[in-house]
Amino acid sequence: MTETTIGNLLNEMPGLLIPGIYDALSAKLASQADFPVAFMSGYAVAGTLLGEPDIGLLTQTEVIEQARKICHAATCHLIVDADTGYGNEINVNRTVTELIAIGAKGCFLEDQVWPKRCGHMQGKKVIDADDFVNKIRAAVTAKNDRDFFITARTDAIAALSINDAIARALAAKSAGADACFVEAPRSAEDMKLIAREVPGPLVANMVEGGATPMIPRDELFDMGFTIVIYPISSLFAATKAVKNILHDLQQHGSTVGTEVPGVSFSEFTSIVGLQERIDQSSGDT
C-alpha cells in the first residue's frame, strides 16, 4: 500500500476499525478484506504459536519473529501487541527498534507487572506510574522521527481505579505516546468518562465475552474513541471451525457428506497467491 501513516489515516477518517490477526495467513486475509491496519494480538499469538494462555509466556524474540512473518505477508499496516516491552527502558528501546526494522508500523506498550495477563483476566498488577511513563519515553526516543505509532495502554482500572488509569493515560500522552488505551472499562459510563478525560487518539478494545461491554463501532466513534479493535474475533471464529471439523472427522471418519464450513482448494490457493508464485518461477510478470 502507499506510505500512508496510521496518523494520516486517523486524520482522514472518522476512526479506524482494526481486526486482530495472529499469523501470516490471517494477515493476508485482513489485507484482502481491505483493512488498512491490523493488530497482532498477544492473546491470539500465545494461543496459536504456543497453545498457551496469555499470561506472559511469549518472549520478545517470539513476538518480533511472528511480526516479521506477518509484515512480509500483509499489505496492511501492522500494530503489534508488545506487552510490557519485555523489561525496563533498555528493553523497550530494543523492542521498538526491532519492530521498526521488520516493518511494523506501531505497537502497544502496557503498564502491567511482568509476567502480565490478558487485560480481561483477574489478578493484574501494575508497575509504578513513573516507571510506566519512563517506558513510554524510551519508546518515543527509540522511534525518533520514524513512522511508528505508539499506543500507551494502562491496566490500572482493575489494579487501582479508573481515576488512576485516566491519570496514567494523561501522563503517557504527555510523554509522547501517539494514542492512549485504558484497558477493560466495565460499563458504558466508564467508557464515556475515559473519552471525556483522555485526549485522542483513543482505543476501544472489543473482546467477545470480556469485561468491557460490546458497543457498535459508530457509537464508540461518537463517544470519542477513534481506534476500535476486535483483537480475537478471527481467532475465536477459526478455533470453532477447526474444532467442529475435527470433531466431525473423528465421528464419521471422513469429510465426505459433511458440510465443511470452509473455502475450497482453489479458493485457498488463490488466497495464498499460488498463481503469483507460478508466474515468478516461469519468469512472467
Q: Percent of the chain at pLDDT above 90? A: 87
Domain total in the chain: 2
Q: Percent of the chain at pLDDT above 70? A: 97
- Bridge partners, residue 181, by sequence: 153
- Is residue 252 domain-shared with residue 221, that is, in the same domain? no
- List, as own/partner pairs, every contact residues 217-224 make where C-beta atoms lie below 8 angstroms and the sequence separation is at least 24, other chains included: 217/15, 217/17, 220/15, 220/191, 221/14, 221/15, 223/191, 223/192, 223/195, 224/195, 224/196, 224/200
Q: Tens digits of per-residue pLDDT, 18-59?
A: 999 999 999 999 999 999 999 999 999 999 999 999 999 999
Model confidence at 95: pLDDT above 90: yes
Residue 164 within any structural domain of the chain: yes
- Is residue 164 domain-shared with residue 103, that is, in the same domain? yes
The residue-averaged pLDDT of 189-218 equals 96
Provide the grid cell at 197: 478525560
Single out the residue in 192, 211, 232 at which a domain terminates: 232
Model confidence at 255: pLDDT above 90: no
- Is residue 221 domain-shared with residue 147, that is, in the same domain? yes
pLDDT band at 1 (very low <50, low <70, confident <90, very high): very low
Taking residue 36's Cβ as centre, other Cβ atoms within 10 Å add up to 17
Q: What is the pLDDT of residue 109?
A: 98
Query: Which residues have a Cβ under 8 Å from the Cβ of 204 and sit 6 or more positions away?
Result: 191, 212, 215, 220, 223, 225, 227, 228, 229
Provide the grid cell at 18: 482494526
- Is residue 180 domain-shared with residue 203, that is, in the same domain? yes
Q: What is the pLDDT of residue 257?
A: 76
Residue 192 within any structural domain of the chain: yes
- Is residue 107 domain-shared with residue 248, that is, in the same domain? no
Q: What is the pLDDT of residue 283?
A: 63
The residue-averaged pLDDT of 117-130 equals 93
Model confidence at 192: pLDDT above 90: yes
Tell me the residue range of the domain where 16 lies: 6-232
Model confidence at 2: pLDDT above 60: no
| Average predicted confidence (pLDDT) for the chain | 94
The residue-averaged pLDDT of 271-282 equals 89
- Is residue 197 domain-shared with residue 245, that is, in the same domain? no
- Is residue 105 domain-shared with residue 133, that is, in the same domain? yes
- Is residue 174 domain-shared with residue 263, that is, in the same domain? no
CATH assignment at residue 21: 3.20.20.60
* Cα angle, residue 35 at apex, residues 30 and 36 outer, rounded to 5°: 120
- Is residue 217 domain-shared with residue 243, that is, in the same domain? no
- Is residue 128 domain-shared with residue 269, that is, in the same domain? no
Q: Report the C-alpha gap between 272 and 176 in whole angstroms.
A: 38
Residue 86 within any structural domain of the chain: yes
Widest Cα–Cα separation across the chain: 62
Residue 227 within any structural domain of the chain: yes
Model confidence at 63: pLDDT above 60: yes
Residue 1 within any structural domain of the chain: no
- Is residue 16 domain-shared with residue 140, that is, in the same domain? yes
Q: What is the pLDDT of residue 230?
A: 98
Q: What is the pLDDT of residue 203?
A: 98
Q: What is the pLDDT of residue 284?
A: 54
Provide the grid cell at 17: 476499525
Q: What is the pLDDT of residue 121?
A: 85
Model confidence at 282: pLDDT above 80: no
- Is residue 216 domain-shared with residue 243, that is, in the same domain? no
